[in-house]
Chain A
Amino acid sequence: MTERRKLVVVGNGMAGARFVEELVARGGRDAWDVTLFGDEPYGNYNRILLSSVLAGTHQPTDIFLNPLRWYTDNGVTLRAGLRVRGIDRRARVVHAGNGVMERYDALVLATGSVPFVPPLERLRLDDGAFREGAFVFRTLDDTEAMMRYAGRSKKAVIIGGGLLGLEAARGLLAMGLEVHVVHLMKHLMEVQLDPAAGRMLERLLKGMGMHVHLARATCGVIGEERVQGLLFADGLTLDSDMLVIAAGIRPNVQLAVDAGIEVERGIVVGDDLATSDANVFALGECAQHRGVTYGLVAPLWEQARVLAERLAGRAPDATYVGSRVSTKLKVAGVDLAVMGDREATAPDDEEVTYSEPARGVYKKLVVRGGKLAGAILLGDASSAPALLQAFDRDRPLSDDRSELLFPQSAHGSQTSAADQPDDAQICNCNGVSKGAIVAAVRGGCRSLKTLCDRTRAGTGCGSCKRDVGAILEAVAGDAASEDPSVHYYVPGVPLAKPELVRAIRERGLKSVSAVFRDLADGKEDPASKPGLASLLKTIWRADYEDERDARFINDRVHANIQRDATFSVVPRIYGGVTSPAQLRKIADVAERHGARMVKITGGQRIDLLGIPKERLPQVWRELGMPSGHAYSKAFRTCKTCVGTDFCRYGVGDSTGLGIAIEKRYQGLEAPAKLKLATAGCPRNCSEATTKDVGAVAIEGGRWEIYVGGGAGSRVRKGDLLCVVGSHEEVLRMMGRFMQHYRENARYGERTYDFVERFGIEKLRRLLVDDEEGIAARLDVDVQAAVDAYVDPWTEADAPKTAEQFTDAIDARGAQAAE
């Protein structure tokens, strides 16, 4: 192995430490000896949560991100409590306090920012230190000093009505002080908010007991030994025991300036994050990229990732091209999400606003060219996730703007999980309490995926995942990160579905093991196997190389495994219509094989439970009926009502249609199960509007087709895809939709999530209007999948693998002689 080069990082804050984490995660330690300088005497902590420490909701120990041991465990030399004083670029050496020197091959500056302190008369003593009772709010030490001093103070003034100032105000208010916020501008948080939102926030803060003084310039401090008040430019004064200066931050660039590196507002970096010296990089609040300095955490993490990719050699050409700035936070306990522009800037920009002073809710969208150019959501962040996503991905918005401001609450309770007590049960499948989830976050789980894996919350039906995410966000704040695997089709192959499909086609990968070999460094992630098998079958159909070990047990033995390792057998009963002879036959089989329970299912079929694996082939043979696929991610059933044959209200032959649908699409593999229904009239007795795909007859011989409905762990009414005039057209449109879903959904993604993600308007344009000309191709491909269907229960007489249906191989006589 070649000798490792030396990498020195200056700054162990949010940016520097995150960069080192990202570098270590990418195997960067193979190439680099890493030394990290931090002038605070700690491991790194989440600076964003300092306000929560001040507010008393977090202990200082709660906000540490990496304990000192993390650095040792990962082979990173941490020099904490040591300030770097100079850089000798010619010798490539940094000089720190106490005569410490460190040579570097590459240097990363992550020096962050320093508080801006306006020139106030009598603020400082002769030695330059602050007069007693005056503070800035930047570090953990600042915070602790403020808390100690506040303990013996009654009244505090905060200079600065921006985010940091209001957070300080909230903390001091919670400690029982009388709190005054003095702000130079005409409304609060003018960087993020428009005047109307600023006024709404002011109202809310005043309602909490805060005093707000706007358009007020401070010129000096009153008091001899310690702060006793403030003097304003207009001659007025305000008594106070303590003063907190939160008037903004400035990039901390002195080190770079002294070293002769190009600096404007911040340290100037290119898309490669290199400074004017190619061996010196900069990121975070100290860096200026394309004229912009960022003060929020998301851009800084993007920079950390890019620089780590480059230096670890994983993607030496990775570039950072700037960030669209958005954030979701709580200001003094009030929900706030802001993104992009505050106000319309072009003549054609559209502003949509909603204001409800009594509840303290203000919402505003800035729409440009049908896309979201900016938004402010104050007091109600329920629409924030969808808007943040539309903003980040620059996606076209729904034409109905009110839908964007007022998302339909499909999730019942309005109380956020984050506000519930610690003993509240969050995951109702696995019985995981809020306290256990909070503890895991504090123990280091920072992505939703690692949190769910660790606590098992959200690993059952998955419906509590949003709640788990809300708790993660509340506890970790912006330190919460997204596990990259959430965008992968399966966790074990680092590609999203479109890229994965392309790679599979280009390389002609026809088996699951070939995919692992070519696209995952040969690492066979067991949990990823079934998803890959399903995808390969959809792509290659008859040419797919079926490796049975890639299937979940249900799909190896074509039955649903039960808690006692027996199986359930559900024969197909088309449209739920049976006959006395068929019932008699099923009854006989159930009796002969000792089915422990015979159950009518929700899909209008009959389930024989408690069948041992080795009896499955015989049960199938005796039934002489096809598999009902009640065990696989595939087309399952089409539930029907009695339609026109018997029902006095029926307007369409739902029974005949349902049977035709089921005969055509039975067993069609899909990313998740497909449950269908047909209803003979809008009374909808078969619940067709809450099925993955449903058809409802309406007067005039026509059928409404609904997609994306469901009544499982989530309840969602399907969206109307189209209205058609015949059974044939219903069959064709349903097939077209299902084929599109098969090709584009993530593994395990039910149609209700898929349709929401894609948007019904887009689906209509694609599938009904055929805007992109893919409809005929989809129809052909779904027909090919239908033609390739083979009833898996025929394996009763032609097993595919050795001992396929053996419960346990008898080896009682196998003991070898001594």
Chain B
Amino acid sequence: MTRDFDLGPVDRIPPGEGRTFDLGSVRVAVFRTRSGSVHATQADCPHRAGPLADGLVGDGCVVCPLHGYKYDLATGDPLGHACGPIAVHVVSITSDGRVMLSLD
């Protein structure tokens, strides 16, 4: 069953950065790229549980801050290594600038 979450105004996530959201049962990382799109993934890196939201973002990827493992934000695929993939979630921005997340 799909559950929808209203994560509040997109301005809570600075351009090009990510933030971790605690949804109670689960934590997700939500990223806002410089081009304005949003992506959501599992919060922790499958390698050593690094906080992905603290990673560097660019070119559609995030780089985990702990050991540099890189993932595609749209597909969750690992890039250049065999760890993962990471879970990705459906996320969008409403016309009034709020971040809407769906969890399966």
Contact = CB atoms under 8 A, between A and B. Distances in A.
Contacts of B24: 812
A449 to B, nearest CB: 11
Nearest to B18: A549
Interface in B25-80: 27, 34, 43, 48-51, 54-59, 61-63, 65-66, 68, 70, 80
B97 interface: no
Interface string A539-582: 00000000111101100100001011100000000000000000
B3 A815 contact: yes
Contacts of B65: 552-553, 561
A815 B26 CA distance: 12
Nearest to B31: A549
A352 interface: no
Nearest to A810: B22
A526 B22 contact: no
A561 B19 CA distance: 16
Given A527-B63, A809-B19, A553 B55 contact: yes
Given A808-B20, A814-B23, A526 B66 contact: no
Contacts of B49: 564-565
Given A526-B58, A814-B23, A803 B12 contact: yes
Given A524-B59, A552-B65, A811-B23, A547 B4 contact: no
Contacts of A527: 56, 63, 68
Interface string B10-22: 0111111101111
Contacts of B43: 808
Contacts of B70: 526
A525 interface: yes
Nearest to A550: B16
B54 A526 contact: no
A808 B16 CA distance: 17
A708 interface: no
A456 B79 CA distance: 12
Contacts of A809: 7-8, 12, 19-22
The contact size tier of chain A is 35 or more
A801 B17 contact: yes
A383 interface: no
B30 to A, nearest CB: 9
A811 B14 contact: no
A393 interface: no
A453 interface: yes
A530 B19 CA distance: 19
Nearest to A547: B16
A811 B7 contact: yes
A454 B79 CA distance: 10
Contacts of A802: 11-14
Contact of B54 (A513, A525, A565, A816): A565
A803 B23 contact: no
Contacts of B15: 547, 549
Contacts of B55: 526, 553
Contacts of B23: 811-812, 814-815
Contacts of B8: 809, 811, 814
Interface in A796-818: 801-803, 806-812, 814-816
Interface in A773-816: 801-803, 806-812, 814-816
A529 interface: yes
Question: Which 5 residue pairs across A and B have the least CB separation, nearest first?
Answer: A549-B16, A524-B58, A526-B58, A526-B56, A808-B20
Interface of B: 3-8, 11-17, 19-24, 27, 34, 43, 48-51, 54-59, 61-63, 65-66, 68, 70, 80-81, 100
Given A526-B56, A561-B54, 10 more contacts: A525-B59, A565-B54, A802-B14, A803-B12, A803-B19, A808-B20, A809-B7, A811-B21, A812-B23, A812-B24
